[in-house]
Each structure stands twice: as structure tokens, then as C-alpha cells.
A and B are shown apart, each in its own frame.
Chain A
């Protein structure tokens, strides 16, 4: 028997033994606990009005903190953790004072969410330069202010008298809760079962034994099935409590990212492999979504427009699949069979992804084209990884998202480049070859013609950038002033 579903809510121990497994954290705190500071703006993790902070202890007992969209966090995922809502801040926290005095609220509906994102930054010592703050609040939409006063509030709060740090108290409380719960969660209700194994071993067994169950990572996709499509599974098996899956191993060859590792945790190691991975992950959804969603989940769900797969394919990533005790390895690009179809048997799960280190960090360049820079889904994502030795292309891996029913390599374009001198002629051939590789579709994100043209131009951009440096609109601090032509002449 596992303990009942238990978590800390603003320091108070809360048990919810009868909550349906698909109960969202937001519904629970608003309608069962009367904590109405967090708002529902979209119920899909895209507006941030429901932002709360989640704290947990990692395997070593260190405190981890992240922001989360309460609207798509399923309640059992909070088992053994602490949820901090705006009500816990008391109203006089420096972040709140800076927001109020700095005219950072108008209608006020989004405000508690912004307060929590800024509070997370405040308590973790995040940067307060406006560009950095914009990244921290990329998952919070405001329709009234134009954001200026909110961006300024982070710095004002930091400059004010320091608020007492409650991290130690939180760590102690979580430690005590962990000791009390002592084990995984098997949350069985009339509305379904939520199983949270504690090890990869247990997880593999459970998944094999219940192949019809839904495997849950960060719920940043499945949460929307629940809120928007009425998804009510009989059984969910959750990866998030397996400490041995929540590991990133790094060596000379590259990274191995476990199934439970969130994007937020993977960001820095990925950025260390190649700067463009850091830039791509900076624009990957939002802090709230990156804190919950997992790198492996972004692979496992097989979306043709997921941001991770093209970049990882371009690096030659290998996915490790496990069923029971049996493991197999696949080049990541071979995992995606067709739209909505992956090479994964029932009961099998993505245990980890192995990401090789590029020969040169600057070989890999990732271009995400979307309607809006932050917190948007790609219309085209190009990840281009070329090794050029003595002017000749020795390795060519080009992977695209948004150009086909699956994330896909541009085989013909790669062939056009490989072994050739890296010059305009070869790049021109590769651009023409893209028409062989891809026949994209039109939808509300982009028309086929635009996708094609952008993809072609991104090859040109890669070629230009390797010679002259970055040519980009985004990437704070990376904008290139007018030196290009001068360099080109010299």
C-alpha cells in the first residue's frame, strides 16, 4: 500500500485520496481549496495566468524549484512536492510591492501569474536585465500593459530590502514529507489509477504489465488532452518519480538524457554542447512548460513540429527504448515512422536519448521560424550540422521540423553537400534538393510555399553565418551590427 496522495500547499499538508487522477492542480486549488489567486486563462499552458511554483527535493536532497502552469499539472504529479501559490506571498513581498507601485497591473487577471514567475526569479537569484526577465516571463501573457512596467519590476524588487528566504524551511518540510511518504504512489480511485514507480526497473515492469496504460511525463501535452478533449484514461503511469531516469550523464562523447529530465534541467548541458541548442531551448515553449515537460517526452509524443527532434537528429542522437528488461537503440530519425506513429511497442518507453557532441560547437546551427518568437510552435525548424575540413564537407546532417509528417532528415540535400567543397554551388544544389526531400503542407501556422522558401533560405543563412557570423533578428545580445559588408569585402 502506498501512502495517500499528499503534498504541501503553501506549507500546509494536503491529502487528496479521492481526487480523480486527471484533476488539474488549478481546479483543485481554486475550487477545492478556495485559492483563487491563480486564474484560468486558457487551460492549455499557454497564457501563464495560473502560474504557481513547485518545489521538490532531488535524489541528493537538494531543493529544486520551478514555475508551473497549474492548469495542466495533474494533481498526483504533485505527490511529495510543495506547491506555492500567490496567496503564500502575503501581498508585501518585494516583487508584489514593485509590481503594485510600478503600475505593472491593469486589469490584474494575469498579475498573480506574473508575480509567481518573478518570485521564482527573485528567490533563485535570476538576472534582472530586461532581456533576461523577458525570458523568465515568456510564458505569461499580458494584454494590457505592454510589459514595460512588469519587466522593470524585477529589478525594482531586487533593489528593495531583501525578503526572508523560506527555502530552508521548505527543504525541511519536504524532507519530513518524503520520510513520511516513504515510497511511490499508487493512486487508485473510481475515476482511474495513477501509478508513480520509483525506479526505472519498477517503471519498466509496470509499463510492460499494463501496455494499455498511458505513459505520462510532464503532462504538457497530455494535460491538454485532459482539459480540451475530455481524456479520462483508466491508468496513467508516471515517469516523474523515477530518480534514476531523472539523470543527465555527460562524457566526452556527449550527453545521455534520462526519460524524466525536464527541458529546463537539460538546457544548460545542451547549451554547452552547442550554443544554438541553448538558443533553441531558450525559445522552447516557456519556463513553465520547460520545467514540466521532458526532452524524451518531446520525442516520444512524435509531433512533427516538436522543437527537440530536428536538433537532436542533426547531432546524430540515438534513442534508447526499453520494454521490461529488453533495451534497443535506434537512430532518432528512425523512431518516427509516420504522422502519429512511432517505432514504440505497447509497454515500451523511451528510457533515454543519447546526444553526441558535435565536432565543433559552431557546426550546429538551429533556426526556429514561428509566428511569434517566444512561446510559439515552429512553422519551420531547421537544424543543420556540417563538418567542413579543408573546405570540404565531411559530415552533413540536416534535419527539419514542420516540413513533413515527422521530423525528418533532408537526405537529398545532405547528399548534395557531402564530399563537396563548401561553396555557393554546393549550397545551391542542396537548396534545390530540398524540393526532393520535402513537400510540406499548408495550415494556420504557415503556407507550404512559405515553409519551402524559408527552409531554402535557411540553408543560405547557414552558409552566410558560417562565413560572416550570426545574421539574426532574435537572440538577445547576438544581434549583429553593420560589420558584415566590411568583412565580406576584406
Chain B
């Protein structure tokens, strides 16, 4: 792995410094919610889960639960003072299904009631003792089931530009195909957890492993019928999130808060891994169909996509996720005429939710399948087809620059990145060598593929594109930093601290990073959509700017520079500490709250046009695989990645996001297979049965580089670009490489559904 450290180290604070908690991580002293010492009086909770996928509770006898050793209380929907609903957008998500004598069951694993007990073991054991009779109905599980039953979360949504049908009809060549795409479990290493501590009156404090403290706060307020100002939600760090803690922590936090209120003691709910995987949502399974018209050169003339998302039992964030799949049905390709129709299927599975990429990966995979199909039909190298369909480069005449939703792609650098990567990875040369190798090897086959990604950065729910920060300077010059972003491993806290330190010209050690709390910064957006550093970095910069302006006004030095712990201006110089002290004595406020609202956004969902994204992030990967045509087994031999993160705030953290995202994307498309049985029960609910990549799955040769020319043309924080989600889609190159190897074995193209497990690959032969 290479690192262009020197180029980025423009100031001491900006550069490849380790994660803020790295030393604590390795020492085992970084505290997660379950690591905080438990007070003697703490009670422990368990959730009882439904054992059918669809139907009604006919009768429920909870006496055996109440009578079990250690049980203090059993709480049902009747015990929730408020709406008994945890739905983030639409209130269609009953928190506890058991209410009164019955209740409707919408998926296998749905939470029925809460057991409060003196120990975790007692609570979990008791939760299994309820005598529940169900009136079972036939569940709607698959996309096909939902189409047949006509069950949808919301109406279909359409985006179009030009007359796609006519363009396809008039095209010299046409192709039609489809791809089924599996879901993915987040498998954050730290399972869902919340610890609630009752305060005075109606006050409650909740430690929650959540990406969205403000929403947990709102959910608690609605359900406990208390004002938001009575609820404080705090999160110092999560042991991984990946989108799985954007909304899925709501119920966990509510259970803890409800129990704490009812019992009057601190309450903790930590889910067992199996329960976590059964109860909580996952990446949406999709089906994407396409019909494309193209010319002999492989250029798309018109295309229609029809996307079906399996949303599970409730809306959750599925609307925005399915929208994002549509926004990425173009990936990096210009479509002269296009129509995209999206269907949001309601099924009796867990409620599919946010997962790194948020629908984007499925949309991109649909586009890449279509491109592969065109390559197959035309006999062209797939990379040639990709190149011919790219959006026009930045600075070129914008004739091939408009997206299906009417936004101009003004910053397209994909061609340059792909060319640079293809050369560095010797794509053409290796592709030829592999073809020769394959001709000589009847059993083992190799495949190579390059895939690009263009990813839109901003929440497409426009109002979420705002962030707040609180920066405090104390008399000794030390700085306390707080903002609405949450830390789940992505290095956001450190990047934002680097921004603050650089703004003040201080070493990083002068800036104290503190836990995200709803009582410090209100009304925050989820840490999601890759937007954490962009938005919180700017909000912090705003606060720093205010403080700097006050200090400068106090010093009477408008032209001063903050650097190396000093403030220097034409008339003099002061140390940071001196300046702060003197500002304090002059009664200057040393606290500031910063704010940021992403500019330029204008998205009109009714017309399906506008500018939903501030900018795009780009990257590309070349992956080579080895495939065993007798067993379907395969592994990656080499991966080369070139990714644009703009001017990196922290190249080490960015490289980590790229590598981790790539491997996670590969896992999604290869070994991570979710299996539900015919009754809707998840059969892969633990690491013994659900297989995320291990160290041995990493390709032996991996070359990851940040694109040297990267610079955000928009005025983002220090001209950086978001990096959290886009690299996940680079894993698509591995899937395409497997299809290439399979083609070498089968003698012809055999398009696969994802994930491409060894079984799928072998059975396709």
C-alpha cells in the first residue's frame, strides 16, 4: 500500500495521524456501552421475539415469564405511554407487538415484549417462557410474493429523461436482462445495546450505540410522552455501525428507557448476536431488470430499469434507499434516454434498512450488469464499453453530462481515474495473459475486471444536510470539541479534531474530543450518507471562525495568522494561551456553536429533477480472481484501487475506509448469503452460518492509492471528499471478475445473481 503522506501534510494537524482512539483500542481501554461499570441496582432486559412471520397473537400467557427467577417486570405495548412505535419516517412500526391480549405479527423475530430481570441470563431465559398461541397466516417473503400479493411500502416511483422506449426501439441493438441481488447483514462487531439511567422527574439519560442520537431522543420522547428536553442521548463510540445503527437502535434504546422509567433503576439491554441478526434490518435484497438499446460501438442509446426492493415489514428508510438505488442506476454512465421505475415491496421479513451505500450499490450493480451484457453482445472488452459510456469529463463541453434526474455532472473525473488505474494495474496486458492461461488450464480459471464508481454525496432528503458543533476554549487554552457526528470507527472524530486544531494552529493534543450528546448539539442528522466529515467539519470550522474572529477583534489584529500555537499579526505576536487568557479577562465569550447547511441542493421529488447531490465521489478497482471449475471455490489474487477523496484530511483514515469498504463490498457479493426458510425464519443468524470475509480472503496483492489529482471543486472542508460509502461499490469488480472466470470455464457468459457463492458459480456451469 502506498501513502502520499508528504503531499497532504500542509499543516501539522492535517495528515495521516492514527485514529483518535487507536492507543485505547489496542490497550482494551476504549470503553463501549457494555464496558462501563454497572451500578449494583442495574436491571437487565431481554426481548421476546415472535416465532411466526405473519399472523396474530390469539392468546398470550405471560405468567410463566413473570414467575421465572429474577424477573422484576414484563412490559408490553400496553406499558408504553406514547405511540408504541419506533418508525423513523412513517409510524408503521409497532415497538412491542404484544398489546392487550393480542397483536399483529409482521415478521419472524419481531419484538413482542420486554423482560426486566436482575440479570441478563435471567431475562433471556424468562423471555422464552411465554405461552403464546398464534393464528398463523401465509407470509409474504420474496419480491415475487409481494408482487403477487400486491403488498408495497409506497407507490412506485419513476424517474425519466427523454423517451427511453422509443430510443430502445430505434437502437441498432437491444438487450434485456435481470439480476437478483441478495441483502447483507451489517455484522458490526458490537451488537445493539442501550443503557438508560432515570434522572429527576421525567428526565432520562441513555447511552445508545446509535448513529442517530437525535432520532433516538425523538423516539423516546414520542413513546414516553415526555418532551425532547427531558431526554439526553449520548454515544462516545460504536463498535461498528455501517448503517445498521441509523434506526435499528431505536427499539433497543426505547426498551431500556421504558424499563428504567417503570422500575426506577438503570436498565441495560444488550442483544445476543443471534437475536440481533434476527431482529434488526439488513441491506435490501433487490431485483433489477433492464432493457437497453445500444449501437455497435457499445454506446447506450436508451435504457429502462425496473427495480424491486424487498423492504421487509415496515417503511423504515426504504423510500430514500430505493430512491438512491435509482439515483445510481447510471453509475458513471451517460444515458441519452432513460426511464427508471422503482417498486418498494412490503414483505414479512425484518425491516431492511440503511447499509453503507444506502441502495446505491444495488443501483450501480444493475448498471454494471447492463454494461457487461452490452460487452457480451458486442464482443467488446467490457472496459471499452465502460469507457465509451462515461459521463463527459469535467471541463469538457457538457453534452454527455446530464443525469437521469436532470442534474449536471460537473465534476466527472472517472475517465482519468480509470485510465490511470488501468495503466498502473496493467489491465490490458493481464487480461490477455489470463486468456492465454485459461486456454491452457482446463480446471482452474482466472478472471479480471475493472469497475468504476460515481457516488452522489448528500442526503437526498434535503433537510438532513445540516450539522451543528460546539467548540469551547478554556482559560488554559485547551479546547473542547463537540459536534453532531458519531464515531463508529470511520475516524470522523479525529478528522474533525484535525480541522479544529488546524484552524487554531494548535497541536491535535490541545483539542479534546468528547462524546456526541443531544444536550450539547441539538437536532442533529444521522451520521450517514458519507457526510460526517463534510458537514461536521464545516460546522466546527464555523465555530472556530467565530472564536478566531472574536480573539482577533480583541487583539485588534484582523490580519493575524494562527499557527504553531501562536497568533502572529503585523503588529505583534502572542502565544495561544496568552491570547485566550487575555480574551477571557476582557470578557470575550470563548464558546461558540457552529452550523452548516450544505449549499446548492435543490431536489424536487415530485418532478424527479433537481440537484440532490452537492458533488460526486469517484473511484475504480481492478480485481483478478482464481476460480475452480470443479467446485466453484474461488479467491481474489490481486486488487488495485484508485480512489478520489479530494484533498484528504487524513490519508491513513481514508485508505482504511477504502480497503475496508472494498472488502465489505466483496463480502456482500460473494460469501455473505442470507438464507430465510419457507416460514420466514432467518437461518443465517450468527457468524457460524453467516460468513463475512476473514483475513485469508484478502487478496495477496492489494494496491490502494488515493488519486493524486483529487480536489473537490466544491467548497467542502479543505476541498476533501466523502469516503465512507463509495469504496464499497469497488467490490463489484470482484463479482464481475468471477463472471469472467466463469465465462472462461463455461465457454459463454452466464450472468449470475448475487452473491456469487461457490455454489451459485458451480451450478451455473
Taking Cβ atoms with an 8 Å cutoff, the residues of A that contact B are 30-31, 34-44, 46-47, 49, 85-87, 89-91, 95-97, 99-101, 103-112, 115, 130-131, 133-135, 137-138, 140-151, 228, 230, 367, 369, 371-377, 379, 443-447, 449-450, 453-454, 457-458, 460-461, 464, 471-474, 479-480, 482, 484-486
Contact = CB atoms under 8 A, between A and B. Distances in A.
Contact of B26 (A39, A91, A449): A91
Contacts of A111: 25-26, 28
A141 B240 CA distance: 12
A108 B21 contact: yes
A49 B634 contact: no
B276 to A, nearest CB: 10
Given A372-B693, A460-B630, A39 B190 contact: yes
Contacts of A449: 763
B702 A148 contact: yes
A62 to B, nearest CB: 29
Interface in B700-718: 700, 702
B388 interface: no
A107 B696 contact: no
B38 A96 contact: no
A100 B689 contact: no
B190 to A, nearest CB: 5
A175 to B, nearest CB: 28
B25 A46 contact: no
B675 interface: yes
B686 A46 contact: yes
Nearest to B763: A450
Contact of B237 (A101, A107, A140, A146): A107
Contacts of B27: 37, 86-87, 89-91, 96
Nearest to B240: A107
Contacts of B24: 108
A109 B189 contact: yes
B622 to A, nearest CB: 16
Highest count of chain B CB atoms <10 Å: which of A49, A144, A148, A479? A144
Contacts of B241: 107
Contact of B489 (A91, A144, A471): A144
Contacts of B31: 36
Given A37-B28, A146-B659, A371 B691 contact: yes
7 A-B pairs closest in CB distance = A37-B28, A107-B489, A109-B239, A108-B25, A91-B27, A106-B489, A86-B28
A107 B494 CA distance: 12
A369 B691 contact: no
B118 to A, nearest CB: 13
A461 B687 CA distance: 30
A371 B674 CA distance: 12
Contact of A147 (B187, B274, B698): B698
Contacts of A471: 443-444, 628, 630
Contacts of B663: 146-147
B684 A372 contact: no
A286 to B, nearest CB: 9
B370 to A, nearest CB: 28
Contacts of B514: none
A143 B273 CA distance: 15
B683 interface: yes
Contacts of A49: 189
A380 B186 CA distance: 27
Contacts of B19: 103, 105-106, 108
20 contacts: A44-B273, A99-B22, A107-B240, A108-B19, A108-B22, A109-B190, A130-B700, A134-B698, A141-B187, A141-B189, A143-B660, A151-B695, A371-B691, A371-B758, A371-B759, A373-B635, A374-B694, A458-B631, A471-B444, A474-B635
B553 interface: no
Nearest to B487: A107
B619 to A, nearest CB: 15
B242 interface: yes
B368 interface: no
B759 A134 contact: no
Contacts of B63: none
Given A47-B189, A100-B26, A461 B631 contact: yes
B557 interface: no
B273 A43 contact: yes
A463 B706 CA distance: 47
B687 A101 contact: no
Contact of B32 (A39, A95, A375, A450): A39
A103 B631 contact: no
Contacts of B659: 145-146, 148-149
B239 A42 contact: no
Contact of A473 (B22, B35, B628, B700): B628
B273 A41 contact: yes
B762 A450 contact: yes
B489 A373 contact: no
Given A46-B686, A108-B237, A109-B239, A369 B273 contact: no
B243 interface: no
Highest count of chain B CB atoms <10 Å: which of A367, A471, A484? A471
B184 to A, nearest CB: 11
B1 interface: yes
Contacts of A37: 27-29
Contacts of B655: 103
A39 B491 CA distance: 21
Contacts of A105: 19, 21-22, 25-26, 489
Nearest to A86: B28
B190 A41 contact: yes
B82 interface: no
A26 to B, nearest CB: 11
B490 interface: yes
Contact of B28 (A38, A379, A445): A38
A485 B631 contact: no
A59 B443 CA distance: 49
A67 B697 CA distance: 21
A473 B627 contact: yes
A143 B664 contact: yes
B238 A107 contact: yes
A24 B551 CA distance: 57
Nearest to A49: B189
Nearest to B35: A36
B439 to A, nearest CB: 8
Given A90-B27, A482-B440, 10 more contacts: A37-B27, A39-B189, A87-B28, A87-B29, A107-B189, A145-B659, A151-B695, A450-B759, A473-B627, A473-B634
Contacts of A145: 656, 659-660
B11 interface: no
A113 to B, nearest CB: 9
Contact of A106 (B656, B694, B698): B656
A41 B490 CA distance: 19
A371 to B, nearest CB: 5
B112 to A, nearest CB: 19
Given A107-B188, A230-B125, A457 B630 contact: yes
B242 to A, nearest CB: 7
B135 interface: no
Given A107-B239, A369-B631, A447-B759, A40 B695 contact: no
Contacts of A472: 628, 633
Nearest to A376: B691
B624 to A, nearest CB: 13
B26 A106 contact: no
